[in-house]
Amino acid sequence: MSLSGTYDDQNIFAKIIAGDAPAIKIFEDDVAVAFMDIFPQSPGHCLVVPKEPARNLLDLSEDMAAKAIQRVQKLARAVEAALQPDGIVVTQFNGAPAGQTVFHIHFHIIPRWEDVPLGRHGGKQADMDELAAQARKIASFLD
Ligand code: AMP
């Protein structure tokens, strides 16, 4: 798919936003929804998905880009408080060659620990009960 393509409203994140597909949610408001990544690269890997139907950061309106990064910061702070990682990586991919696989704008929040290697992107599906427990814990630290 090209970087500037047509938005496909049947993508999995559009379905999650619409309530037509399940997700282990941490947070939701009128701007974005945050939920656990089901193929986590580390424990606590979660996603912030702006609700605006945009394929990537280049398509997103400036207003939503500003609001979305505030949600990313809010979630990253809650992840830090809940899981006490040594570091947090925030990533966002634009276009398949850049590593994007779901073509609805989203940000990854990936906690990192010293000496723990990063899992493969889209690697192994996590245990859903573990993800739900992580989501509850992170949500309990949201301000
Ligand atoms: P990207 O490569 O940035 O497009 O990443 C898409 C991310 O979405 C990957 O890390 C996947 O593991 C994750 N993912 C795909 N489907 C789902 C889903 N149904 N629920 C939660 N995360 C998902």
In a domain, 5, yes or no: no
Question: Is residue 36 included in any domain, yes or no?
Answer: yes
DSSP of 22-66, one letter per residue? Answer: ---EEEE-SSEEEEE-SS-SSTT-EEEEESS--SSTTTS-HHHHH
Residue 95 lies in a domain: yes
Instruction: Kindly state whether residue 6 falls inside one of the protein's structural domains.
Output: no
- Edge-to-edge, what's the strand order for the sheet holding 32-36? 25-28, 32-36, 46-50, 107-112, 87-91
- Structurally, how many domains does the chain consist of? 1
Active site residue 106: yes
Distance of CA 37 from the midpoint of ligand 1 (Å) = 6
Return the pLDDT at 143.
81
- Asked if the structure places residue 127 within a domain, the reply is yes
Within 6 Å (CB) of ligand 1, which residues are found?
Answer: 12, 23, 37-39, 93, 99-102, 122
Would 26 be classed as within a structural domain? yes
- 61 C-alpha to center of ligand 1: Å? 22
Given ligand 1 and candidates 101, 105, 120, which is best to mutate, with the most ligand atoms within 8 Å of its CB? 101
Per-residue pLDDT at 116: 92
Exposure of 8 in the CB half-sphere (CA atoms within 13 A)? 10
Is residue 1 assigned to a domain? no
Domain ranges, residue 78: 12-139
CA–centroid distance, 122 to ligand 1, in Å, is 7
The catalytic position among 45, 104, 106, 108 is: 106
Q: In a 3-state reduction of DSSP, which class is residue 98?
A: helix
Mapped onto helix, strand or coil, the DSSP state of residue 106 is: coil
Say how far residue 70 (Cα) sits from the centre of its chain. 13
pLDDT of residue 124: 85
How far apart are alpha carbons 138 and 75 in whole angstroms? 8
Consecutive sets of 10 residues in the chain, 143 residues long: mean pLDDT of each?
80 98 98 98 97 96 98 98 98 95 98 93 90 98 92
Residue 4: inside a domain, yes or no?
Answer: no
Q: Which CATH number is 24's domain given?
A: 3.30.428.10
Task: State the pLDDT at residue 5.
Answer: 85
Please tell me what DSSP assigns to residue 84. -
Helix axes 128-140, 62-83, angle to 10 degrees: 100
The residue whose C-alpha atom lies closest to atom 22 belonging to ligand 1 is: 37
Distance 66 CA to ligand 1 centre (A): 22
